[in-house]
Amino acid sequence: KAGVTQTPRYLIKTRGQQVTLSCSPISGHRSVSWYQQTPGQGLQFLFEYFSETQRNKGNFPGRFSGRQFSNSRSEMNVSTLELGDSALYLCASSLTAGGWYEQYFGPGTRLTVT
Amino acid sequence: AQTVTQSQPEMSVQEAETVTLSCTYDTSESDYYLFWYKQPPSRQMILVIRQEAYKQQNATENRFSVNFQKAAKSFSLKISDSQLGDAAMYFCAYRSAMLNNAGNMLTFGGGTRLMVKP
């Protein structure tokens, strides 16, 4: 089985622009979660989608949004980029929401905002 | 809200020796899961070991084992016979198992960088 894939792997954007990151979960997985990883704040939960519905949302401003498609692929969007949005964005997929199921992480998208 | 604390930003161990990474957490919930994740320099996070809070028996996966002390809210990871490939960032994580909060949201600790000396 192919693992979790994230595109693009690297991205450089300018302040004020917007960006869309994509995550393709493992085939058959219906839950996708997103995390932001920075040296200062560590790993922080952004949101989780299950069957196209947002189940949980972390403490991030409304500039951060996401969605999930019927094939379970997920996208996250950050509008009006700020320098502090520079981070590694990780997505993780799981068979379902909750329970004992393992979450599998993708390689991440490294976003640099200049 | 739950918090996870890893008090050791860096640890080093000699190859073939044993090392223990510490993790404490704070929660008012009674049902939850605890995890240790490894993030090598290539950045792909992988699950090392997991523990269900209601199970008293400590989880073991080959050279990796945990010491789960529920009353003390402590969840340490022991790596035996350390190998060069064990060098990585290790993250302790918490996930609720409460029915009214079921989901996959993980709360991570700050991480411990493990160095393995040949």
Question: Tens-digit pLDDT profile for chain A (114 aa)?
Answer: 789 999 999 999 999 999 999 999 999 999 999 999 999 999 999 999 999 999 889 999 999 999 999 999 999 999 999 999 999 999 999 998 777 788 999 999 999 999
Tell me the HSE value of A56 on the side-chain side, using a 13 A CA sphere.
23
Query: Other CB atoms closer than 10 Å to residue A10's CB: what's the count?
Result: 9
Contact B39, B91 (CB under 8 A): yes
DSSP A103: P
Report, as an integer, the average pLDDT of B33-59: 91
Q: What is the dihedral of CA A59, A47, B103, A40, to 10 degrees?
A: -60
CA B48, chain centre distance (Å):
8
DSSP B27: -
Which chain A residues have any C-beta within 8 angstroms of a chain B C-beta? 31, 33, 35, 42-45, 48, 50, 55-56, 58, 88, 90, 92, 94, 97-100, 102-108
Contact A43 B108 (CB under 8 A): yes
Residue bearing tokens 């004020």 = A16
Tell me the HSE value of A100 on the side-chain side, using a 13 A CA sphere.
7
Spatial distance between the Cα atoms of A76 and B114, rounded to a whole number of angstroms: 32
Residue bearing tokens 């402590």 = B74
B89 and chain A in contact, CB less than 8 A: no
Contact A76, A64 (CB under 8 A): yes
At A41 the three-state DSSP class reads coil
Q: What pLDDT score does A71 carry?
A: 95
Which residue from A104, A52, A88 is spatially nearest to B43, judged by alpha carbons?
Answer: A88
